[in-house]
Amino acid sequence: MSTVLERAREVAAAVPDPELPMLTLADLGVLADVEETDGRVTAWLTPTYSGCPAVAEMAADVARRLRAAGFAEVEVRLRIDPPWSSDRISAEGRRKLAEAGIAPPAPGGAPGGLLRLGPTRRAVACPQCGSEDTEELSRFGSTACKSLWRCRSCREPFDRIKEI
Amino acid sequence: MSDDHVYLSLAEAGPGPDGEARWAYGTGFADPLLGVDAAPPVGIDPADLAAYCLMLGDDALVLSQRLIQWITRAPELEEEVALANLGLDLLGQARRLLTRAGQLDGSGRGEDELAYWREESAYRNVRLVELENGDFAQCVVRLLLFATAREELYRRLVGHADPVLSAVAALGVKELAYHREYAAAWTVRLGDGTEESHRRMRAALDALWPWLEELFTPHEVELRLGVDPSPLRAPVLAALEGVLAEATLPVPEVVGRAYVNGRGGRHGVHTEAMGPLLAELQVVARAHPGATW
């Protein structure tokens, strides 16, 4: 086991997500892999949604931090298969999301089935007060990966990471 | 790390020919297939595969453009945000598909060149996605028709021999499920709503249903590639009929829109709505060729 590789992994894993800065790319499951051959480091990223506008920022940030940590030859590549899923968010990532007032996604990825009408009842706990008396206001929120909710108990609105 | 800012990274990563950092149209570094293996799959004609990626990519790009036109015009802020999100998903799919088409067709064209510099007759989208937006009922109905059909298609393309096409489909099928559910929920709400909303939904269905058939009509490229879309017809119609029944809306009894001399959107023959759409899509890139900022 190369300690150089371990160090490269550590640096890449600590890069924050540009849109959810309380999470690292590793927490979010966007950092797919880090490889190292003769000092040359390749970091593989799996973007969340097809239209995620932050991919350039993520790639640039990973490359810059690796170079700043002393790795001279750095390459960032995308791995789009298998696709990202909300199941890739780590337990640590889920904890940090909840702490920041963003409800984490339920495990199990996107709900299946060809025909599903109306809002699906999922017990979503309010990240502010913990009440499960919450409702979905809109399935589409401030970024592609979030939906918009409101708590009926404490009356606070909150974001929630969607299952995909 | 408080002095770290992502734009510093961008500045470092994205110098243009003039040395200036850029992060919008013309950036050059935001290749949506950055570092993905570009080799064509063995045993498939790359020209046919490129043409097919262009068809699906153009569908997504043109519908994305129509959805973006709802910004500042949607009935409620939440719907505006939703439509923008749907458009962004489709734009992301389009970027990967257009980039893939440019890799495969040997022309060396990137996504920007394909989007901004092709003429109307070189666009391969179905005509359904280019039609004028109309009212919100038409927006909902078009989304319902397109998303139901595209989700069904993507489901079958997962595992395709081309790794990019397979990957676009694998992520796209999950994104399109959200699009279809959004449209289905509004279809039920408006169809089973007021007299006025019901009337508008029926009018929208009558106007758009005739364009659905083109999504099931095989092009010779699709037949050669073994991706004939005609088997999609039965499951898509069954799903649509289920939503319409829930929405108390009758299935329109209208005939499909015919091709013009045997040719339609997949052959580059479009409706009169396409020209103005492309003019808006392409005007900045064409007014300032090669511009960077």
* φ, ψ at B24 (rounded to 5°): -130, -150
Residue B208 has pLDDT above 50, yes or no: yes
On chain A, the residues whose CB falls within 8 A of the CB of B188 are 117-118
**Cβ–Cβ gap B82/A140 under 8 Å:** yes
Nearest CA-CA distance, residue B240 and chain A, Å:
9
Q: Which residue from B245, B243, B246, B274 is spatially nearest to B141, judged by alpha carbons?
A: B243
Mean pLDDT (whole number) for B191-204: 98
Lookup result for tokens 């709802």:
B70
Q: How far apart are alpha carbons A156 and A150 in whole angstroms?
A: 6
Q: How far apart are alpha carbons A118 and A120 in whole angstroms?
A: 6
Q: How far apart are alpha carbons B8 and B289 in whole angstroms?
A: 27
Please provide the size of chain A in residues.
164
Domain positions in chain A are: 3-78, 99-161
CB A96 within 8 A of CB A109: no
pLDDT of residue A111: 59
Pairs from A28-35 (Cβ < 8 Å, separation ≥ 24): A28/A88, A28/A89, A28/A93, A29/A84, A29/A85, A29/A87, A29/A88, A29/A89, A29/A90, A29/A93, A30/A58, A30/A84, A30/A88, A31/A62, A32/A79, A33/A79, A34/A5, A34/A8, A34/A9, A35/A5
Which residue, among A80, A159, A160, would best test binding to B if mutated, counting the most B CBs under 10 Å from its CB? A80
The model's pTM: 0.91
| From B32, B85, B92, residue closest to A140, measured CB to CB | B85
The type of residue at B82 is A
E strand or H helix that includes residue B289: none
Domain positions in chain B are: 44-287
**Cβ–Cβ gap A84/B184 under 8 Å:** no
On chain A, the residues whose CB falls within 8 A of the CB of B13 are 56, 59-60, 63-64
**Cβ–Cβ gap B12/A60 under 8 Å:** yes
Give every strand in the sheet of A31-37, ordered side by side.
A31-37, A40-45, A73-78
Between the two ends of chain B, the Cα-to-Cα distance in Å is: 28
Q: Which residue from A141, A139, A145, A138 is spatially nearest to A52, judged by alpha carbons?
A: A145
**Closest chain A residue to B7 measured between Cα atoms?**
A57
List CB contacts of A160: < 8 A, sequence separation 6 or more.
Answer: A102, A103, A104, A105, A124, A136, A141, A146, A147, A148, A149
Q: Give the count of Cβ contacts less than 8 A between chain A and B.
A: 142
Q: How far apart are alpha carbons A95 and A93 in whole angstroms?
A: 5
Is A3-78 a CATH 3.30.420.10 domain?
no
ipTM of the assembly? 0.88
For the CA atoms of B251, B257, B263, B265, the dihedral, rounded to the nearest 10 degrees, stands at -60
Residue B17 has pLDDT above 60, yes or no: no
pLDDT of residue A108: 76
On chain A, the residues whose CB falls within 8 A of the CB of B88 are 49, 51, 53, 144
Residue by residue, pLDDT tens for chain A (164 residues) are 568 999 999 999 999 998 899 999 999 999 999 999 998 999 999 999 988 888 888 998 999 999 999 999 999 999 999 999 999 999 999 999 999 999 999 887 665 544 454 445 567 999 999 999 999 888 888 888 899 999 999 999 999 999 88
| From A56, A61, A139, residue closest to B29, measured CB to CB | A56
Alpha-carbon distance values, B293 to A64, B18, B115 (Å):
21, 10, 19
**Cβ–Cβ gap A76/B34 under 8 Å:** yes
Is B44-287 a CATH 3.60.40.10 domain?
no
